[in-house]
Structure 1
Amino acid sequence: MTTDAATTGSSLTDAAYQGPALEVDHVLYGAIAHEGGRTLVEKFEIPVRSGRAWEVPAGHVCRIVTVEGPQVGDLNIWNRHNPRERFWAARTRQLQAAHVTTFDRLWSTLPYLRPLATITADTLESYGVDAEGGRVHDTLGTRCDPYVNRLLTGADFDFHCHSNLTRAVRPFGLTEFDVHDVLNVFQCTGLNDRDQYFMKSCPATPGDHFELFAEQDLLMALSTCPGGDLSVPLWGPDAHDPIEVCHPIGIEVYKLDDAVLAGWSAPTSPAYGGGHGLRAQPWE
């Protein structure tokens, strides 16, 4: 038996993952985004072609800022107390979108599967979709790394995002094996008509920002991509060192007043029993 999508109110291209658990309280998170009721507790800049890790306690807001000009940042996030719980780009693509913005959530890995952070502000949200299908804040791609650079060019380079993140997390007892697929903040990407990943010039201007509300105690790490604003190809016949289009990225962490957080509670994991079929089946 077939079902006509028109009669069911759904479409074959509707989101595959749907349900009340994915709904976000726009009133609560809209209030969190309001710049009143917050106190700046930490502020620093990440220089070009480097990385830094920092803590964001639950109930705080982290703002990522293009302080001087367009610049792509590769972001990793972990539960501060358990680095096995970390950002899961693939599931975030499915539950939210391939490019994320205000009110989207960044989800953690199994078996935890809960929001690490919720996006509360995005000054590039109005960019939308450009003529080539490009969008910003990408979960499609991952960090550049010295291994793929060696593969494509035959040369070593120690300041790709993977290496920058590896150096950044060492003070927190983490290693290269803890660095994971990223959220490419301020990066404009898409899929071309051959279903291949493309990158475009970053559309950010000085002062643009992207804000995350910490749903848990978090460790964040960000690399200022060595490609800068990605207006110069990193690989291929037109590639050359794009140092002239690299800029620092600013980080600001804010503590919210208790009144702003009224009604908020930390997320919990799905209450799956955890059997994985390893016990006897009920029909056996």
Structure 2
Amino acid sequence: MKPSRPETPPPADAEARRAVAPVICYPVETLPQPDLALYRRAAAGMEKTGEVLVPPRAARCFEVPAGHIFRIRSVEGAQVGDLNLWNAADLSERFYSGKTRALHGTHLSTGDRMWSSFPGLRPMATITRDTLDWYGFDSFGGAVHDVIGTRCDPYTHNLLSGGQYHHCCHSNLTRALAAETGLPLDQAEAHVHDVLNVFMCTGFTRDTGQYFMKASPVRPGDYLEFFAEIDLLGALSACPGGDCSSEHSSDAAACYPLLVETFRPADGALDGWAPPAVNGYDRSHGM
């Protein structure tokens, strides 16, 4: 545990050092911006093409072609979900939560994008609608749809609590990907990655800087909508924490299903649009 009081006395200029203004690491003025007006026009005439119901404490995969739209919807009760995305043609290109966090912040909403891993580093999906955007940041510093938590997993559960729990989101996503692709479990597990915590309300405590969760404000009917920038394979886990108001990975929390819906824009709605190219860095690394 961290010591309750600092063990090192502060220097004479401690307050001046603390008062130094922060600098944004990645100014995003030159970041390519999504054409939300185009995406909204595409959604206006869209046709539903399918749906996948994700059972409580389980995960399911789904596919979304480039230029199509998908929604993650609450259907019965307050429930959070852990979302993984891959390039449908190449599992090595996957959602990069750390870089997404660095570019957009700790929590995502309308207009933010889910960026892919190196060397692709391109938008995989753009958030086009968020029915929880009203929440903002609360007085505890909590907000919804975070890219700071990793995913609940059986390894940390074993480390902290002992035992073998198999319905953590990491295991749920592993089983779902293995079932979808035919990969052995150990190979599928290597592709499971840090997530977008859909509907989860999280932040950091102001005194200890610890990651916290609190009851999700999601209601049945709420949804998070995405535009697929490339051909996507997705996997969504309905977290065993339910609304994450008290327990994180257990069979005690009330859990509910989540619905993934996919849609096709009307013909001609995306005229002139093309999927983003992979990142332009030449990969020479100075050699």
Tell me which interval the TM-score lies in, with the shorter structure as reference length: 0.7 to 0.9
Counting only pairs closer than 5 Å after superposition, residues 103-182 of structure 1 correspond to structure 2 as 103-170=111-178, 171-174=180-183, 175-182=188-195
1:233 corresponds to: 247
Residue 253 (structure 1) aligned to one of 262, 268, 277: 262
- Given that 1:234 and 1:241 are in contact with CA atoms closer than 8 Å, whether structure 2 keeps it comes out as no
Are 1:61 and 2:69 an aligned pair? yes
Counting only pairs closer than 5 Å after superposition, residues 270-281 of structure 1 correspond to structure 2 as 270-277=279-286, 279=287
> Take 2:107 and 2:23, find their aligned partners in 1: how far apart are those partners?
17
> Take 1:211 and 1:259, find their aligned partners in 2: how far apart are those partners?
21
2:36 corresponds to: 26
Deviation for aligned residue 1:265: 1.4
- Given that 1:17 and 1:94 are in contact with CA atoms closer than 8 Å, whether structure 2 keeps it comes out as no
Are 1:207 and 2:207 an aligned pair? no
| TM-score computed with the length of structure 1 as normaliser | 0.88
> Take 1:127 and 1:15, find their aligned partners in 2: how far apart are those partners?
26
Q: Deviations over 1:157-212 (max 9, x none)?
A: 10000000001001214410000000000000001112111011111000000011
Long gaps (5+) in structure 2:
1-20
| Letter of the 1:145 counterpart | D
**Coordinate RMSD, CA, aligned:** 1.6
Deviation for aligned residue 1:14: 4.2
1:267 corresponds to: 276
Deviation for aligned residue 1:268: 1.0
Range 111-120 or range 250-259, more displaced: 250-259
Deviation for aligned residue 1:234: 2.9
- Given that 2:52 and 2:60 are in contact with CA atoms closer than 8 Å, whether structure 1 keeps it comes out as no
- Given that 1:45 and 1:249 are in contact with CA atoms closer than 8 Å, whether structure 2 keeps it comes out as yes
Deviation for aligned residue 1:17: 3.1
- Given that 2:60 and 2:235 are in contact with CA atoms closer than 8 Å, whether structure 1 keeps it comes out as yes
Deviation for aligned residue 1:264: 1.8
> Take 2:105 and 2:268, find their aligned partners in 1: how far apart are those partners?
31
> Take 1:242 and 1:132, find their aligned partners in 2: how far apart are those partners?
26
- Given that 1:77 and 1:220 are in contact with CA atoms closer than 8 Å, whether structure 2 keeps it comes out as yes
- Given that 2:214 and 2:246 are in contact with CA atoms closer than 8 Å, whether structure 1 keeps it comes out as no
Change (3 A) 1:189 1:42: same
Deviation for aligned residue 1:108: 0.2
Residue 236 (structure 2) aligned to one of 222, 238, 246: 222
> Take 1:89 and 1:222, find their aligned partners in 2: how far apart are those partners?
15
Residue 187 (structure 1) aligned to one of 169, 187, 200: 200
Deviation for aligned residue 1:26: 3.0
> Take 2:22 and 2:28, find their aligned partners in 1: how far apart are those partners?
13
> Take 2:194 and 2:49, find their aligned partners in 1: how far apart are those partners?
28
> Take 1:183 and 1:109, find their aligned partners in 2: how far apart are those partners?
14
Question: What SS is found at the alignment partner of 2:102?
Answer: helix
Question: What SS is found at the alignment partner of 1:258?
Answer: coil
Counting only pairs closer than 5 Å after superposition, residues 90-109 of structure 1 correspond to structure 2 as 90-109=98-117
Deviation for aligned residue 1:37: 1.0
| Letter of the 2:125 counterpart | A
> Take 1:108 and 1:234, find their aligned partners in 2: how far apart are those partners?
27
- Given that 2:152 and 2:168 are in contact with CA atoms closer than 8 Å, whether structure 1 keeps it comes out as yes
Deviation for aligned residue 1:15: 5.8
> Take 1:100 and 1:242, find their aligned partners in 2: how far apart are those partners?
29
| Letter of the 1:275 counterpart | S
- Given that 2:98 and 2:147 are in contact with CA atoms closer than 8 Å, whether structure 1 keeps it comes out as yes
Q: Deviations over 1:100-146 (max 9, x none)?
A: 00110000000000000000111001111111110000000111011
| TM-score computed with the length of structure 2 as normaliser | 0.87
- Given that 2:52 and 2:62 are in contact with CA atoms closer than 8 Å, whether structure 1 keeps it comes out as no
